Chain A
Amino acid sequence: GAVVSQHPSWVICKSGTSVKIECRSLDFQATTMFWYRQFPKQSLMLMATSNEGSKATYEQGVEKDKFLINHASLTLSTLTVTSAHPEDSSFYICSPRDSPYNEQFFGPGTRLTVL
């Protein structure tokens, strides 16, 4: 399968700080990037979808000004959690796809803990 990296793998931060999570597709071009978050013992929840070079489309209930997504290149997408609060503590997973008919691959995830 394709190689997807996320950085950092885990981060602990103070309330009010911003955290940037990077997602790289190492051996294919991700025309579409999905960002998910997962709370303990729950399913993955789609936060937003972005296509390279376009603005992200956010799911209902996800604040676009709080979760900033940049998908400026076919191999890199970033998610920035601005002014993080304890309720933002979660497991964030990126999922790139190279075309609509192909598999989605998943990054290893970033565990965010906001104190």
Chain B
Amino acid sequence: KNEVEQSPQNLTAQEGEFITINCSYSVGISALHWLQQHPGGGIVSLFMLSSGKKKHGRLIATINIQEKHSSLHITASHPRDSAVYICAVSDNTDKLIFGTGTRLQVFP
């Protein structure tokens, strides 16, 4: 069993839909990261959080430390949001453990 699990693995949506991607982890963490990887391969760090909720534009990330669960929400999705979204946790050795990613496609 992976230490960081994401669901769903693949997600398609129509433009404008509200999207949720989930991440569960089984190790002790100092922080959780949400990353975005576009088809060209470049990775962008979206959020780093250790408690509560963060919002940036149409993106919202929440984390529940007790339940070891985080969600990434995208409001009013757009085709340019199409990418792979990766959940990663910083463990007690300070290294990142990556989930396998969620491939999102948003159609016009």
Contact = CB atoms under 8 A, between A and B. Distances in A.
Nearest to A32: B94
A1 B43 contact: no
Interface residues of A, number: 18
A106 B101 contact: no
B42 A1 contact: no
Nearest to A49: B95
B22 interface: no
Contacts of A105: 45
B41 interface: yes
Contact of B41 (A42, A104, A109): A109
A33 interface: no
Contacts of A49: 95
Contacts of A1: 44-45
B60 interface: no
Contacts of A42: 100
Interface of A: 1, 34, 38, 42-44, 46, 49, 91, 93, 100, 103-106, 108-109, 111
